[in-house]
Chain A
């Protein structure tokens, strides 16, 4: 079979996207309520952040605005997983009920087809919230605003988001083996809340764990160091894009491995 090009996939993606948005729009009330819910979550997250820092002006040498930058950075970098890979949450239901088999019969990449089926618009509110937070912190810290820095920020944001995508993919893929992956996914989702803290607060053992075993430190801490502390960038920050790609590729392989092993329910 001839390998299909990226144009072909983009074309298909937008076709599926249009269908998804149409079907979402037919449940308008649900859409509006969900969006409000998402905004609520972001506001509450910010309020708890604010309450905490009212009491403590700095944590481990990190000032209020630097922490806020980290917070905004982590919000932006978890947006792609929210918007583009939300169908992972339904995977266990499809696998359990046997409906997953329908994806196996399509003549396109299984992973691509499955993930493209849902686009979660709610995530865009989070993106706006994250951007506003980051820009506010950016101006308060007085960081320079050159094209090079902005380019760096964008590249590191994208690669950071790959980590979160990888974590969620891997968590969702566990359902091919243990059926009920909800708890694994819920656990993985919690990791994103830890991403907003500087890794230096942990003891060396946990620093190692959060860097190499559960790579939460790559979601915000290491990439944002490149922008926040340009004088003293650790090697891990520079290789975080490579890590992002590597983890994404690994999670993709795991997901596909599970999917090809899937034998259906016989119905």
Chain B
């Protein structure tokens, strides 16, 4: 059984995140405050603009988009760059490299447990809340299935980007700066802070050629679209899958090349 060893890591991850119940609670409270701010900010923005729909998005659309983007962020974010960076600095990475499992899979699967926990503690409650608050402006139909499908490549793309950036840390031995740059770029260009629909044309065109929109914008646009055209959905999912494969290859090749470079302090 090949998958068995991975699921063992998932189980450990679940137990580990459940151990830190206080931080789950604080994260929940933090989300609540954030969502309040987002709600009032956009409400007054739409109130001042005088129209119901800006760039094809109504107030409810924007709210659902941003709220679920945050929920997705909490659910997908693994802080893998931090982990890799810390492992490099402390030298623990040597022990992980010696394990009879690929480092990349090891890291991914040891985080998978927190995926499961975060899904039930943050994403699902937020989703239900947002459905109630916006009086079911979220279309509940076949789009939910497509949404679930598009989350899978989104998670992998997000992780691959993290892993590539983490590999850069092997060379620089600097974590904070690299990580903050990655986070800023991903958050802005993926549409997690402002929906892509609000971007100016040129910027929108540029962003469409980058992998970041596949992380947040694609799943969320799919979710918000009540009557999906099959061709449309297929292109979106197709782009996601292509990015997913491309980034998987890049991250694994880059890691292999970089491993020859590695210098570990003690350990």
A residues sitting closer than 8 Å to B (CB atoms) are 27, 29-30, 32-38, 40-41, 44, 47-48, 51-52, 54-56, 58-61, 178, 180, 182-184, 186-187, 190-191, 194, 197, 201-203, 206, 214
Contacts and interface: CB of A to CB of B under 8 A. Distances in A.
Candidate in B33, B55, B203 with the most chain A CB atoms within 10 angstroms = B33
Nearest to A199: B40
Interface of B: 20, 22-23, 26-27, 29-30, 33-34, 36-37, 40-41, 43-45, 47-49, 54-55, 172-174, 176-181, 184-185, 187-188, 193-194, 198-200, 203
A201 B44 contact: yes
Secondary structure of the B contact surface, majority rule: helix
Contact of A190 (B20, B34, B49): B34
B22 A180 contact: yes
A59 B42 CA distance: 9
Nearest to B179: A37
Nearest to A61: B48
B174 A29 contact: yes
B45 A35 contact: no
15 contacts: A29-B174, A33-B172, A44-B187, A47-B188, A48-B194, A51-B194, A55-B54, A59-B41, A180-B22, A183-B22, A187-B27, A187-B29, A197-B41, A202-B37, A203-B40
Contacts of B20: 180
Contacts of A37: 176-181, 184
Q: Which of B26, B34, B43, B185 has the most CB of A within 10 A?
A: B26
Contacts of B193: 48
A82 to B, nearest CB: 12
Contacts of A51: 194, 198-200, 203
Contacts of A214: 33
A55 B55 contact: yes
B180 A40 contact: yes
A30 B30 contact: no
Contacts of B55: 55
A37 B194 CA distance: 21
Contact of B180 (A41, A48, A183, A206): A41
